[in-house]
Amino acid sequence: MSPASKVVVILCGILGLLLHDPLATQTTLAGTEIAEGLSLLQHRGQDAAGIVTCGSGGRFYQVKANGMVRDVFDAPAVAGLKGWMGVGHVRYPTAGSSAHAEAQPFYVNSPYGIVFAHNGNIVNTPSLRQFLDVDAHRHINTDSDSELLLNILANNLQKTGKFRINEEDIFTAIGDLTRSCIGAYACVAMIAGFGLIVFRDPNGIRPAGIATRKGARGGTDYLVASESVVAQGLGFTEWEDVKAGEAIIITRSNISRRQVATPQAFAPDIFEHVYFARPDSTIDGISVYRSRMKMGDLLAETVKKELAKANLEIDVVIPVPDTSRTAALNCAQALNIPYREGFVKNRYVGRTFIMPGQTQRRKNVRRKLNAMPEEFAGKTVMLVDDSIVRGTTSKEIVQMAKDVGAKRVIFASCAPPIRYSNVYGIDMPSPHELIAHGRTTEEIAEHIGADLVIYQTLEDLVESCRQFNPSIKQFDCSVFTGEYVTGGVDERYLEHIQRLRNDNAKAKKNAQAVEAIEANEGGCNGPMNGSDALIGRSDSIMGLSNHSPKIGATNMPTPNDTIGLHNSWYGQ
């Protein structure tokens, strides 16, 4: 595969914070609150975390590394994140490596100094990469489409040729980006010494919102985040979703909004409600918790029909923790059947369907869950899960239930069969690794060892979300239907994604990344972007200084404080 055809797709959490009063940051650092906020988005990415803050004179301070938020941002690391605004990111990789260089936020120094974090995936990366190389002459250092987006934005701003740009220039640059970049993206950017920018793709596939809080000495603090739970946790109010195709510019003195994209069908990803988002979040006006309650109610209707066809009765409903608990409880209540907690979850094992190999996933299912025999022995049990992806977890869970004495096991999914790749930023594997791809429901039941598998209908899943916001006419349901709302997804692209996403390809790529890091220890021939650039001799390092004592060099060249946009409010 040529370098130009590589792509990295990510499901992530993004966060931006702007504190109104720079003097208040002497006691309250933006970095501290961003780290706290990222911990509330940890469910959206457990592979890597990063924060870049902006302090006096437009100076940037960075900490990012592979690992969980609590491990990356210890007290010494956070203490180095000076400044009054910043951008944070958590991620897991879906294709490509887990190298430090692909941890976000990304940074370019020209023009003006821009820091960028992104959630989603671009589907026309080869043409964008060629344009940046041949026409814009901008160097792309990683396989991440997030870096592509940043450089498209930077190039659009640089084309103005201005020493100082204005809001009109920024809106125009983002509008041009939405017309050239096809796919799903929720983005937050920070321009040195100036403010924050947030924008969302024309279809609004990936989520983002803003909230406000009264500043420490008057004025207004602003928060940008993937989910509303961050606003609640940090004491922000008046949460409002960023509209599809909308761009918002936030400075200390002003907030400006504009619809910059050509109008498209609003189609948020329904899988956010099925699985990824926290239940205490509200996304696009829909309570995730309430939508899952409704999923359970409607699933019960399908269960009644399927049980009657199979001439079966169930004794107990047991959820597969944690995401399916809400739906399972409502389903049990609607069926008038006892609900029981039959599995105890080890909370220190990550999500299994995003783990980097089938063998590791299988092992971690048993580490993750433990069955309580008294809830299964001699009973016909209906297990309820949010979805069935590869089927690895489902198969192991069914076997665990039978091992502790279940007479029959019925497996119910709150989502319809997942038969197609997700190309918009969620790690659905290649189709041949999806258990529902090319199989009937009966064949799926046989494969996972269940006596019966029952799926939620697509119509009921859509209704469970849309009833809370009737203005949403459609959702992105491409993993169930194979219909991609943005266009630009053909068989060639899907074959390309399949080559990247299969487990063998991931294992090979990660092994190559490890070899590259080992080969370049102490030298300067490795990646020179992101935190990989911060490993080795201090005299060979380019880019932002990384202040984490776990990452490496801190004696970086002093940044030029004069670079960046002038903020007329600052210093007055």
Nearest to 227 by CA among 263, 272, 179: 272
The pLDDT value recorded for residue 459 is 98
Summarize pLDDT for 201-242 with one digit per residue, the tens: 999 999 999 999 998 778 899 999 999 999 999 999 999 999
* Residue 548: per-residue pLDDT: 47
Go through the domains of the chain in sequence order and give each one's CATH number: 11-267 (3.60.20.10), 286-349+363-475 (3.40.50.2020)
Q: Is the Cβ–Cβ distance between 416 and 458 less than 8 Å? A: yes
What is the distance between the alpha carbons of residues 272 and 267, in angstroms, rounded to a whole number? 12
Q: What is the pLDDT of residue 8?
A: 35
Beta strands per DSSP E along 372-515: 380-385, 408-413, 452-455
| pLDDT of 78 | 95
In tens, the pLDDT along 5-63 reads 333 334 799 999 999 876 654 556 899 999 999 999 999 999 999 999 999 889 999 99
Q: What is the pLDDT of residue 294?
A: 98
Q: What are 338-354's pLDDT values in tens digits?
A: 999 999 988 776 554 44
Residue 525: CB atoms within 10 Å = 10
Query: Model confidence over 467-497: pLDDT tens digits?
Result: 999 999 999 999 999 999 999 998 888 888 7
Average pLDDT over residues 325-336: 98
Positions at the binding site for Mg(2+): 323, 385-386
What per-residue confidence (pLDDT) applies to 537? 24
Residues contacting residue 401 through CB under 8 Å, at least 6 positions apart:
318, 342, 371, 376, 381, 383, 409
Active-site hit among 12, 54, 331, 414: 12
Strands (E), 104-208: 106-108, 114-122, 183-191, 195-200
Predicted confidence (pLDDT) at residue 531 exceeds the cutoff of 60: no
Neighbours of 313 (CB within 10 A): 10
Distance of alpha carbon 303 from alpha carbon 410, whole angstroms: 10
Q: Is the separation of the CB atoms in 63 and 546 below 8 Å?
A: yes
CB count, 10 Å around CB of 68?
Answer: 18
Catalytic site includes residue 524 = no
pTM score, whole prediction: 0.85
Residues whose CB is less than 8 angstroms from the CB of residue 80 and which lie 6 or more positions away in sequence, other chains included? 31, 61, 63, 547, 548
Residues 166-178: pLDDT tens digits? 999 999 999 999 9
